[in-house]
Amino acid sequence: MRARMLGGLVLLSVLGFGPWALAATQTLTVDQAKEMVQARAGKADFVVLDVRTPHEFAEGHLPGAVNLDIEGRDFAGRLQGLDRGKSYVVYCRTGNRSMRAVRAMEQLGFQSILHMPQGIVGWQERGF
């Protein structure tokens, strides 16, 4: 029985479902994201990550957000350079690109990922 369990764990690791793939990803509503951004703004262990294009980012973004364009050539390298121990609120326009970014972050072993799937559209619809 124990050998079977260990074999299963090895298989999961080979398939990319090892412990590093079990990041603590949480989905946030726009209201929850706003509260979190207000409460943790400026803290060294907290990052608001906007994965839209620089043009979209320039048109408006969440307070304190940093831009990391998921469509940019340097996205993978820049993502790998981020501190995996920090907490990240990740968003885009409507949640599609940010979900791709979240999956990449999970595979890289980021510890605390907070996804806002309603994106900036949901943020603006709430009047924030």
Residue-wise pLDDT tens digits, 92-121: 999 999 999 999 999 999 999 999 999 999
What is the band of 1 on the pLDDT scale with cuts at 50, 70, 90? Answer: low
pLDDT at site 11: 36
C-alpha to C-alpha distances, 17 to 5, 12, 20, 84, 106, nearest whole angstrom: 14, 5, 7, 17, 10
Q: Look up the pTM and report it.
A: 0.81
Distance of CA 95 to the CA centre of its chain: 11
d(CA 105, CA 24): 11
pLDDT at site 19: 43
For the chain, domains (ranges, CATH) are: 19-125 (3.40.250.10)
Helix, strand, coil in percent for the chain, rounding step 5: 45, 15, 40
Residues of the chain with pLDDT > 70, as a percent, come to: 82
Map residue 20 onto helix, strand or coil.
Answer: helix
What is the band of 82 on the pLDDT scale with cuts at 50, 70, 90? Answer: very high
